[in-house]
Structure 1
């Protein structure tokens, strides 16, 4: 099996690549070749002791000719399309956001179409969408909730979901769009993620440091641990196409909790007096984007085997696992 990961040097991409390298398979299928794409890589993968071929390619995903040349050499079985320009960065640079989030996705789909038509081998494409597609939400979110994205990033992800569904309908790709919630805990870095504070609060409070939370104690959000997201990405590629039925787009099961509940869980898991360490200074924009999340039902995702962390203590405990 040949597996491709775009955005392979990112937070989720690195973890997914490391999981595949350590397990040597996706589901029950053995991986023989792993191709990693990103603008640059922090370090090279030493595959000399591995029973699979690993290639890292640095380049601009918005360069469609580079993408076609790089991916046209070997047929692909599974594609994880994780590369994106996230929320804050896409708002600041509209052209960059569209070129990566929309144009590169279309080029990747055209490559899949060309492969299917030339050799009759339809690749599985797992697209990392986002709960940002939901935007303004009602009191209960379920599979029938209308999409009302409030940022360009969310709008771009809606476009990706729609075209992946259409290419799948036409038999050119076996697509699965997974709407990822907040993923915890991201390393401390400038990534353009407006929700980075959700990772920072776990890291800082777990070490006994004070933290100023930009949302109120009662603000509610959704999130999953990185290990849980990796499990769902692997399952997303492994689930049989026949089980997808009427939809190829899934809002992943995740936990809904208040900031006060998260602070309590961090204190319990890491034995810290977190109530004294945290203070709340709500930022209206941040709270509007990330602190007004309602209850969530995900029957379609539940039916095909996607899962959340189980409980908030487990999420907090797993969030800092290496």
Structure 2
């Protein structure tokens, strides 16, 4: 029986991933987070604490994991406002986890698979042309810089055979709960949730703004694929740019109108914020043939995205 560790297990993505893992058999789970909304389900052990807490990390790694899903992070906008917090969680704690896993791997002779939730924030400003999965990374936020630094460290430990890492560069995952804060891309989820509920929404990017979209179920499917796939032919970077849907806000509103009625178009208005638009509303078409060939996937089209994101 294999053992799986999930960091950030109580979060938006973590909670959905844990639900999927609990629905399958053949493994046990350790869940690490700074808070839990419910008692540990059968087959899982909860560890309450921050990834930056050495005692909590020791407890989380007590049962040597075969697979680790590392989802815990400080989101981008919050990490930009509170640099030290982002540095400690997004970089230092990630490196501490990776090196502890490497130590365990050397002791056991078996490298753990580490699936790292990186981010498209590693790219920075992509300009108006198309983008591809080997796009140079030039982060414009500390969050993206720390994710990129972590990717490089994980790739080096994988080169040495100490761990077996797969870094996934995640886009905006929708539709996050309205109560979540710290995400500069929050408009991507809010426009869906507000219009689906028949509520007005003032969008901080213009109608033609384009973003990279992925539903939560699609994200979880890609994480699970990353844990099971062979890494024999993985790139030296161990980083995969996931396939995404490149859609405008108008395109999302149209899909919402097809599902929830034409009034959706009347509910949205726009007060563009130049910084949010520059960071999250000017994403060019993204080409990922290698990721698609490796078995990663996107949602298909805008209608399928809405259905999956809001089900």
Tell me the TM-score range normalised by the shorter chain: over 0.9
How far apart in 2 are the matches of 1:58 and 1:71?
9
How far apart in 2 are the matches of 1:114 and 1:260?
50
Superposed, which structure 2 residues align to 1:84-99 within 5 Å?
84-99=73-88
Superposed, which structure 2 residues align to 1:1-322 within 5 Å?
1-24=2-25, 30-31=26-27, 33-47=28-42, 53-67=43-57, 69-138=58-127, 139-321=129-311
Q: 8 Å contact 1:205–1:272 — kept in the other structure?
A: no
Q: What displacement does 1:63 show? A: 2.0
Q: In structure 2, list runs of 5 or more residues that go unmatched.
A: none
Q: 8 Å contact 1:185–1:199 — kept in the other structure?
A: yes
How far apart in 1 are the matches of 2:61 and 2:203?
47
How far apart in 2 are the matches of 1:268 and 1:222?
20
How far apart in 1 are the matches of 2:71 and 2:304?
25
How far apart in 2 are the matches of 1:187 and 1:143?
29
How far apart in 2 are the matches of 1:10 and 1:245?
29
Change (3 A) 1:215 1:243: same
72-81 or 125-134, which deviates more: 72-81
Q: What displacement does 1:278 show? A: 1.1
**Partner SS state of residue 232, structure 2:** helix
Change (3 A) 1:81 1:72: closer
TM-score scaled by length of structure 1: 0.93
Q: In structure 1, list runs of 5 or more residues that go unmatched.
A: 25-29, 48-52
Q: What displacement does 1:65 show? A: 4.2
TM-score scaled by length of structure 2: 0.96
**Partner SS state of residue 178, structure 1:** strand
How far apart in 1 are the matches of 2:235 and 2:264?
45
Superposition CA RMSD, Å: 1.2
